[in-house]
Chains A and B, each alone.
Chain A
């Protein structure tokens, strides 16, 4: 990575990338509040890293993202506002995490059967690239459409997932985020991401754990609360903690929530607990 270039870009990004606060300023830790007052957002590092990958990470066939999508993401401006959506080239509804993976395996020469590459993508490239691409839609309104039959099918599935009670804890997204919204689970307030259009601040930097998360990370982690199991609930031996990345149900519920956030103005990276 060209560190110097990154730094300069970082400064510029500080101005260009707004970033959003999902938490009241008073509740932030001291050091974060100071950083924000200086106009620095911890999530910007990920935007910069993503920009660097976008321009400099070459696939086995020598192509970079910029080869197809233009310098500085010129052709991806506004794309995130319409995602997840149906893509003809892969004949599927994709969210940002899956779309980028498909581009890398279909168009950059990475082997879709290469488990090592998939791991590297999921762990290293995915979040910065997704955050960078999302930031290209900052200031625009979310505008997800449900038109293609596969989008309709996924939307219905997403709605179903939202209300499905399952697991040894009988949870559903709707239980925590609608019925119990406004209440506290232990000390954590439960938001209603559908009503609050909070998709607008994802991907978000989680200052509690110093991590940048895409919506896939958020949704998959929420599934841990369900205590899903394969045979009989057993925390040590039989806990199906989360659906895997790119699971249809995850993308479907993202589509459901993002559609509900239509009209919300994108401001990423967000900042959450």
Chain B
């Protein structure tokens, strides 16, 4: 069938282009005509996949043989941007909303941290995919490390289930700083 052959050709193209910083490239290549829902999906799913995600797309979902874990981490570290003035701790109350709004039972499309982590003991609808972050501020972690971890978790654990939230722009640097404050501030319910 013609359609399928065409679709195949698009996959091929998608794979070739995927090696480049795809999110930006997609814009440039966007043809003038309106994309169909399927074309949009293909761009989002294939073309916008970055090469690090491609490395992790194997049966074990980890860094595959032949790719250096150290190089991977180094490349991820290099992507991390800090807020103006390098201030990695912001406003914990704003951070709380981004982490998971208590008024919405801890939901948030932004950080959505409760999907995977427990934290504020008042929020019982919390997942156990990542470690519990209760009392996180008392563990003596350098807030800068926490910042980097949220900005690009793959700089620490490549291919982790934890998304690279700053890297993809799900959270802005200032917003990550607010979340860091929520994790570290002694007033935060996380540390009470």
B35 nearest CB neighbor, chain A only:
A230
Q: Which of A170, A229, A243 contacts B38 (CB 8 A)?
A: A243
Which among B67-75, B142-150, B163-171 touches the partner chain? B163-171
Taking each of A186, A235, A247, which has the highest tally of chain B beta carbons within 10 Å of its own beta carbon?
A186
- Are A166 and B61 closer than 8 Å at their CB atoms? no
- Are A167 and B44 closer than 8 Å at their CB atoms? yes
Q: Which of A165, A227, A240, A249 contacts B57 (CB 8 A)?
A: A165
Q: In the assembled complex, how far is the CB of residue B102 from the closest CB belonging to chain A, in whole angstroms?
A: 14
- Are B44 and A240 closer than 8 Å at their CB atoms? yes
Q: Which residues of chain A come closer than 8 Å to B38, judged between CB atoms?
A: 243-244, 247
Q: Which residues B25-41 have CB closer than 8 A to chain A?
A: 26-27, 30, 35-38, 40-41
Rounded to whole angstroms, the CA-CA distance of A180 and B127 in the bound complex is 11
- Are B61 and A179 closer than 8 Å at their CB atoms? yes
Of the four ranges (under 10, 10 to 19, 20 to 34, 35 or more), the interface on chain A belongs to: 35 or more
Q: Which of B48, B54, B125 contacts A187 (CB 8 A)?
A: B125
Which among B78-86, B87-95, B108-116 touches the partner chain? B108-116
- Are A232 and B49 closer than 8 Å at their CB atoms? no
Provide the A65-91 mask, 1 if CB < 8 A to any CB of B, else 0: 000000000000000000000000001
Q: Which residues of chain A come closer than 8 Å to B37, judged between CB atoms?
A: 243-244
A227 nearest CB neighbor, chain B only:
B170
Rounded to whole angstroms, the CA-CA distance of A186 and B46 in the bound complex is 28
* In the complex with contacts A168-B169, A249-B45, A91-B1 CB distance below 8 A: yes
B8 nearest CB neighbor, chain A only:
A153
Q: Which of B49, B109, B128 contacts A165 (CB 8 A)?
A: B49
B116 nearest CB neighbor, chain A only:
A185
**B interface majority secondary structure:** loop
Q: Does B56 contact A (CB under 8 A)?
A: yes
Q: Does B129 contact A (CB under 8 A)?
A: yes
Of the four ranges (under 10, 10 to 19, 20 to 34, 35 or more), the interface on chain B belongs to: 35 or more
Q: Does A92 contact B (CB under 8 A)?
A: yes
Q: Which residues of chain A come closer than 8 Å to B49, judged between CB atoms?
A: 164-166
* In the complex with contacts A92-B1, A92-B4, A233-B170, A166-B44 CB distance below 8 A: yes
- Are B41 and A228 closer than 8 Å at their CB atoms? yes
Q: In the assembled complex, how far is the CB of residue A152 from the closest CB belonging to chain B, in whole angstroms?
A: 14
Q: Which residues of chain B come closer than 8 Å to A168, judged between CB atoms?
A: 163, 165, 168-170
Rounded to whole angstroms, the CA-CA distance of A105 and B43 in the bound complex is 29
- Are B127 and A185 closer than 8 Å at their CB atoms? yes
Q: Which residues B146-185 have CB closer than 8 A to chain A?
A: 159, 161, 163-165, 168-170
- Are B127 and A233 closer than 8 Å at their CB atoms? no
- Are B41 and A170 closer than 8 Å at their CB atoms? no
A185 nearest CB neighbor, chain B only:
B127
- Are B53 and A165 closer than 8 Å at their CB atoms? yes
Q: Does B23 contact A (CB under 8 A)?
A: yes
- Are A165 and B23 closer than 8 Å at their CB atoms? no
Q: Which residues of chain A come closer than 8 Å to B161, judged between CB atoms?
A: 170, 175, 179-180
- Are B61 and A230 closer than 8 Å at their CB atoms? no
Q: Which residues A228-263 have CB closer than 8 A to chain B?
A: 228-233, 235, 240, 242-244, 247-249
- Are A229 and B48 closer than 8 Å at their CB atoms? yes
* In the complex with contacts A174-B61, A184-B129, A187-B125, A166-B45 CB distance below 8 A: yes
Q: Does A117 contact B (CB under 8 A)?
A: no
